[in-house]
Amino acid sequence: MQPPPVFEALPFAGLLLSIALFPMLAPRIWHRWLGVIVLAWSLLFLVPLAVHDGPRAAFTEAWSALLTEYLPFVTVLLALYATTGGILIRGGPGGTPASNTAWLAAGTLLAGVIGTTGASMVLIRPLLRANAHRAQKIPIVVALILLVGNAGGALSPLGDPPLYIGFLQGVPFFWPLRHLALPLAVFTLPLLLGFYLLDRRLSRGEVPPAPHPPFRLRGRGNIALIAIINVAVLGQAVWHPGTLRVFGADIAGERLAASLLFLAIAWLASVTTPRAVREANLFEWAPMVEIATLFPAIFITITPVLGLLAAASAGPLSPGLNFWGTGLASAFLDNAPTYLIFFREASGEGLPPDTALTAISAGAVLFGGLSYIGNAPNMMIRTIAARSGVRMPGFFGYIARAALALIPALVLVWVVFFR
C-alpha cells in the first residue's frame, strides 16, 4: 500500500502549531474561537479530499474517524471526568515535599487501576489545595503529568489506551505487570527522587503549610461508577455482538454499547454528585469541553500522518528503535494508533516477541508526558491547573521542562533494558 503524499499531513502539522502557539501568543482568540480554528484545519484536509475523491469519500473519512475513534475516546474520558470530579479528598496531601512525593508515588500506582485520566483527576485538585500556600506550583503539576498522567498507566490494560489496544489484540491481562514493572521502577524512582530534591529546595523560605485535617473521602458512589467503567472497558475484550453500520461507517457493537454506557454514567454522576462536593473541588466543565472540541480535528487530520509513520517503520526494528520510535511518535501523535502501527510491524503472525513488545509498550506509555498532546490527561491537568491560578508554561516551554526530567530517565531505561 502506497503511503499518502506528504502534503496531506500539513493540516495536522498546522493544528499542532495552533495548539503550540495560539495559547501563548493569542490566548483570548484561542479560547474564544477554538471551535472555528479546529474546524478550519479539518476542512483544509477534507475539502481537497472531497475535490479529488468526491464529497461522499470526504464525509465517510470524517464520519468514520468520529464514530470509530473519537466517540469511544471522548465518552470514556467524559465518564471518568464526571465521576472523579465528584470524589472529594479532604486532608490527604500535606503540601510538604515529602507528602507531595508520597502522593505522586501513590497516584502512579493508582493509575494502573483506574487509568491515567481517572487517577489524575482524583489527585490534581487535592494537590493544588494542599499546595495553595506555595509560590512554585508548576513542578508539582509537571510531575503529576509525567508520573500519574502517563507512566503510571504501564502496569495494566486499564492504565493507558495503548496497553488496552494490546489487550484487545491478544496480549494477556497481566503481561504489562510482569514485563513493565521493572522498566517503570527504573523510570519512576529517579523522577520521584529528583522531584523531592527540587521541591525541597523550592519550598525553603516559603510559608509552611497550615495544619491539614484528617483524611476524609466523599463520593464513594462515584468510586463504584469508576469500577463499572473499568468493567465495561474490560468487557469489550470478551463480548463481541457484531459490527453495526451507522451512516456508512462500521463500528463494533461492543464499542458503541460501551460509549452509550459511558454517556449514561457521566449523566448519572453529574446529577447525583452533591453541588457542595463539586464546588469544593472547584469543578468546571471547561477542561472537558476543550478536549472534546480539539480532538475531533486531531482524529480527522491524523490519518495521513499515521500512514507515513507506518511506511517509515516498515520492517523489523531493534528493541532500541522500537522504544525510541514508538515513544517519540507517541509524544506528538495519538499513542494508541502509534502503538498499533509498531505492534503490527513487530508481530508478523501472532504476538510480537516479548522484547519487542516490551519496548513498544514502554515507549508508548513513558514518552506521553513529553508534550501536552502526548496523552489525554496532560491537557486536562494543564487546564485545571491554569484555571486554579497556576501559570502553566506554553507548549514549547512545557516540552523544555518535561524533557529535562524525562530524557535522563528515558535514557536510563533504554540503557538498562533496550540497548
In tens, the pLDDT along 170-188 reads 888 889 999 999 999 999 9
Backbone angles phi, psi at 409, to 5 degrees: -70, -40
Checking if the pLDDT of 1 tops 60, the result is no
The C-alpha atoms of residue 396 and residue 398 are separated, in whole angstroms, by 5
- Of 19-23, 106-110, 178-182, the least confident: 19-23
> Are 149 and 116 contacting, i.e. CB atoms less than 8 angstroms apart?
yes
Checking if the pLDDT of 245 tops 80, the result is yes
32-42 b/e (C-beta count within 10 Å ≥ 16 → b): eebeebbeebb
For CA atoms 379, 383, 389, 391, give the dihedral sign.
Answer: positive
Mean pLDDT of 128-150: 92
Average pLDDT, the chain: 88
The C-alpha atoms of residue 190 and residue 411 are separated, in whole angstroms, by 12
Nearest C-alpha neighbor of 121 from the set 268, 278, 262 = 278
Mean pLDDT of 333-338: 77
The C-alpha atoms of residue 114 and residue 127 are separated, in whole angstroms, by 18
Cell numbers placing 304: 495521513
Cβ atoms within 10 Å of 146's Cβ, excluding its own: 28
* CA-angle at 8, arms to 66 and 27, nearest 5°: 70
pLDDT band at 162 (very low <50, low <70, confident <90, very high): confident
Most confidently modeled range among 87-91, 269-273, 343-347 = 269-273
pLDDT band at 207 (very low <50, low <70, confident <90, very high): confident
Please give the pLDDT value at position 37: 93
* Residue 32 half-sphere exposure toward CB, CA atoms < 13 A: 4
pLDDT band at 348 (very low <50, low <70, confident <90, very high): low
Report strand pairing: 243-246 vs 249-252: antiparallel
The C-alpha atoms of residue 162 and residue 164 are separated, in whole angstroms, by 5
Higher local confidence (pLDDT), 22 or 402: 402
Nearest C-alpha neighbor of 392 from the set 89, 128, 205 = 128
Backbone angles phi, psi at 250, to 5 degrees: -95, 140
The C-alpha atoms of residue 419 and residue 411 are separated, in whole angstroms, by 10
Cell numbers placing 321: 528503535
To which H or E segment does residue 55 belong? Answer: helix 55-64
> Are 340 and 349 contacting, i.e. CB atoms less than 8 angstroms apart?
no
Most confidently modeled range among 68-77, 135-144, 334-343 = 135-144
Q: Over the stretch 280-296, which tens digit does the pLDDT of each residue have?
A: 877 888 888 888 898 89
Residue spans of the domains in the chain: they are 6-418
- Which residues, at least 6 apart from 114, have a Cβ–Cβ distance to it below 8 Å? 80, 122, 158, 226, 230
Classify burial at 52, counting beta carbons within 10 Å of its beta carbon; exposed 0-12, middle 13-18, buried 19 or more. Answer: exposed
The C-alpha atoms of residue 72 and residue 259 are separated, in whole angstroms, by 5
The C-alpha atoms of residue 269 and residue 151 are separated, in whole angstroms, by 27
To which H or E segment does residue 252 belong? Answer: strand 249-252
> Are 100 and 131 contacting, i.e. CB atoms less than 8 angstroms apart?
yes
Please give the pLDDT value at position 219: 83
Please give the pLDDT value at position 294: 86
Checking if the pLDDT of 322 tops 60, the result is yes
pLDDT band at 63 (very low <50, low <70, confident <90, very high): very high
* pTM, to two decimals: 0.81
| Residues facing residue 249 across a β-bridge | 246
User: What is the SS3 assignment for 77?
Assistant: helix
Please give the pLDDT value at position 21: 82
Cβ atoms within 10 Å of 147's Cβ, excluding its own: 27
Percent of residues, the chain, with pLDDT higher than 90: 39
Nearest C-alpha neighbor of 218 from the set 99, 122, 101 = 122
> Are 199 and 135 contacting, i.e. CB atoms less than 8 angstroms apart?
no
Please give the pLDDT value at position 197: 96
